[in-house]
Structure 1
Amino acid sequence: MAGEVPDLHAQERTGTGKGAARAARREGMVPGIVFGGDVDPLPINIPFNKLLKSLKAGRFKSTLFNLKVDGHDDVRVICRDVQRDVVKDLPTHLDLMRLRRTTKINLFIPVEFINEEECPALRKGGVLTVIRNEVELVVTAGDIPETLTVDLAKLEDIGDTATISDIEIPAGAKLTITDRDFMICNVSAPSALKSDADDEDEDTDAAEVPVVGDEEGGEAADTESSEE
């Protein structure tokens, strides 16, 4: 489960609109907005380097933060969107939503795969194929799970799969998809083995194709008759 809530430091941004946002970027800041919680939206700036470091660390959009802004009470927030430059893929704006610890939210939680070395199916030469590396859950803001775990040691044979029913969902969390037991990963045969099997199938099919004119003088007899 989630541990201590990390702090996220920001400054209140004076002015709104594109002009103020461009000015913030020139000063090495990323403009943003804090909304929700039955209070007015709060425009903020976050230092570009600190935000970029947090984004690279991963799970930024599924982490509950304690937002600290001078002149304002601390508030729990979660990121709902990060806008990026279409060319450089660098953050240009972010949206933060105020939360209470008891607030229910939808989040994509990353899937962790453990015991790969102890997986019998992989020991037999199988290849792990990940279908979903994250799963959407409805969670309580104060108890966001860090990961969901798949134990690969339970996959014994090539062709075995792990589905969502094989994952223990943390107490208080719920799946957003409940109408099917969707797949998380599988262990398939190596591509080389697949190619060999395909070649064998093609050879078998070719051997079963009858040769025209090879039965009881079929085409050869007709040819001789026409020449006469």
Structure 2
Amino acid sequence: MSEVKLAAQTRSEFGKGAARRIRRDNQVPGVLYGHGVDPIHVTLPGHELLLALRTPNVLLALDIEGRNELAIPKSVQRHPLKNHIEHVDLLLVKKGEKVTVEIPVHAEGELAPGGYLLEHVLNALPVEAEATHIPESVSVSIEGLEAGASILAKDITLPKGTTLAVEDDTVVLQVLSAQAEEPAAEGAEGEGEESAEA
């Protein structure tokens, strides 16, 4: 997994006004928590954080005024229109420590011919992994699958050291038949027959 180094500063100002000032300076307010310590309120560089968070479950190596900490993103608040980051919650982690995270599932291959639809029942798969070895994603083949087929959590091959954090028989992906168009087609035929009779 990726590790990104970021410089952070502790902050003592709170509230909406302080947060607005921080964001005006292209910084992002955040909170570090975990390991039973009091939450640490920090500011992080906005552009560098935005780039880092493009990688799911990125490992952040933080330099907090000379103190080094490892953290993973736990909650990211974005502006509903501008999509910039407004606040971030980070979970402190240590090498060797296990954490529960959600990782993206990528489908590979083509469904069987027939206009079938692939539904992502789970957008991301909950797993437990070492904090410093979280997989960026997992892949599963959907080659040739037809309507009614399902991919269960246990069907997905996980990297070494990673285990499922959901029941084995949880449905992750399923194949649906594209029935939405059929009634419209039948209706159109019926109208044609009626006009012919008239």
Q: Normalized against structure 2, the TM-score is what? A: 0.77
Give the counterpart letter for 1:172 in structure 2. G
> Which protein shows a greater Rg?
1
Deviation at 1:92, TM superposition (A): 1.8
Which of 140, 147, 165 matches 1:150?
A: 140
Among 100, 104, 115, which residue is 2:94 paired with?
A: 100
CA distance in 2, matches of 1:154, 1:66: 43
Alignment partner of 1:160 is 2:149 = yes
The Cα shift of 1:114 comes to: 0.8
| Residue-pair matches, total | 187
Instruction: State the alpha-carbon separation in 2 of the partners of residues 132 and 35 from structure 1.
Output: 27
Residue 196 of structure 1, CA deviation: 7.3
Partner of residue 7, structure 2: 10
Residue 19 of structure 2 corresponds to residue 21 of structure 1: yes
Distance in 2, Cα, partners of 1:92 & 1:196: 45
Q: CA, structure 1 residues 66+151, in 2 after alignment: closer, same or farther (shift >3 Å)?
A: same
Of Structure 1 and Structure 2, which has the larger fraction of its residues in strand? 2
Aligned 8 A contact 2:10 2:64 in 1: no
Match of 2:40 in 1: 42
Separation in structure 1 between the aligned mates of residue 108 and residue 133 of structure 2, nearest angstrom: 22
Tell me if structure 2 keeps the 8 A contact 1:63–1:78: yes
TM-superposed deviation, 1:58: 4.6
Unaligned runs of 5+ in 2: 191-198
Give the alignment of 1:91-130 within 5 angstroms.
91-116=85-110, 119=111, 121=112, 123-130=113-120
In structure 2, the CA distance between the partners of 1:177 and 1:38, relative to structure 1 (3 Å rule), is closer
Residues 136-182 of structure 1: CA deviation (Å, up to 9, x unaligned): 11221122112122111262x3332222222113333222222x612
Secondary structure of 2:89 counterpart: strand
Contact 2:9 2:44 in 1 (8 A): no
Among all aligned residue pairs of Structure 1 and Structure 2, give the percentage whose two residues are the same amino acid.
Answer: 29
- Opposite residue 66 of structure 1, the aligned amino acid is A
Contact 1:79 1:94 in 2 (8 A): yes
SS in structure 2 of the partner of residue 191 of structure 1? coil
Distance 2:4 2:74 in 1: 17
Partners of 1:25 and 1:196 in 2: CA distance: 51
Distance change in 2, residues 1:43/1:191 (3 Å): same
**Per the alignment, do residues 193 and 32 of structure 1 end up closer, same or farther by CA in structure 2, a change over 3 Å counting?**
closer
Q: Deviations 1:7-44 (Å, cap 9, x if unpaired)?
A: 2x133134232254333223221111223345554332
How far apart in 2 are the matches of 1:89 and 1:192? 33
TM-score (norm 1): 0.69
More helix as a share of residues: 1
1:11 maps to a residue whose letter is: A
